[in-house]
Amino acid sequence: MPDVAAIADAMRGHRTLVVTGAGISTTAGVPDYRGTPDRRSVEYEDFVLHEIWYRYLWWRNEMSWTLLRQVAPTAGHRALARLEEAGPVIGIATQNVDGLHTLAGSRQVAELHGTFDAVVCLHCGARFTRSRMSEMIRDLNPGLDFPAPPLAELEIIAAKDEESAQLNPIEVPPCPHCDGMLKPDVVLFGEPLPKAPVRAASALAGACDVVLTVGTSLDVSTGMWVVMQAMESGARLVVVNRGPSQADRLADLVVDGGADDVLPGLADVLLGDAP
């Protein structure tokens, strides 16, 4: 069990904020990329200004949501929920939008890039569940097939495919409150981060004694910003990741390992279920 005792020693008696990335969800089958390597994803400006990409993103989103809702939390997600319930973990700031932390039972979760399980109106600000949006889409498009791709090809943010976009037959329902434009509540490229999760992550960073990063190289600046906020408030840094991360040089402890390899044993040690 890779360096679990050392991580437990760093956390014992302290308040820990956990920063997670795609690596905690890969064993559930969720790919660790947004879009595909050889194509640009649909960006915020594309979505709001061009109907072809607005409709295409919703078509792809409906297929991806149908698939993602079947994914279960990993042992790593469940271990963090145990640690939060017992007290050593005060909260999670995640770069993921898959909702698996909440599904596992974690309560204090700052979803920095939004959540795949919600929809927001860009006009009146109304928010509602993704399942309701799915019902609205299918009611408006009777008989239209939404074939789910293999899980390995899941696109959290749809990659641009102009040929498919031109052939896309979907009609997108308007906001049921104001007839405004609806958007999946995930952060598209070119869109600002949601204020409430950023405020929550900042508060957690200021309140923690240890910041533990799990399953992220911290190449995305959002996670690194949270880490730096915590360290500037005096927190020690522990890194758990397969391969190097941008924060290794700043860390008090670096553990090369996967979330499912490390976190369940860590929870056992800290909660007294194992020697």
Catalytic residue numbers, as ranges: 113
Burial of 72 (0-12, 13-18, 19+ CB in 10 A): exposed
Q: Are 1 and 263 in contact (CB under 8 A)?
A: no
CA 74 to chain centre: 14
DSSP annotation string for the chain: -TTHHHHHHHHTTS-EEEEE-GGGTGGGT--SSSSBTTBPBPPHHHHHH-HHHHHHHHHHHHHHHHHHTTPPP-HHHHHHHHHHHHSSEEEEEES--S-HHHHHT--SEEETTEEEEEEEETTT--EEEHHHHHHHHHHHSTT---PPPPGGG--SSPBP-HHHHHH----PPPPTTTS--EEEEEPPTTSPPPHHHHHHHHHHHHH-SEEEEES----SHHHHHHHHHHHHTT-EEEEEESS--TTGGG-SEEEE--HHHHHHHHHHHHTTS--
CA atoms within 13 A on the CB side of 190: 11
Distances from the Cα of 259 to the Cαs of 33, 77, 166, 212, in angstroms?
17, 8, 41, 11
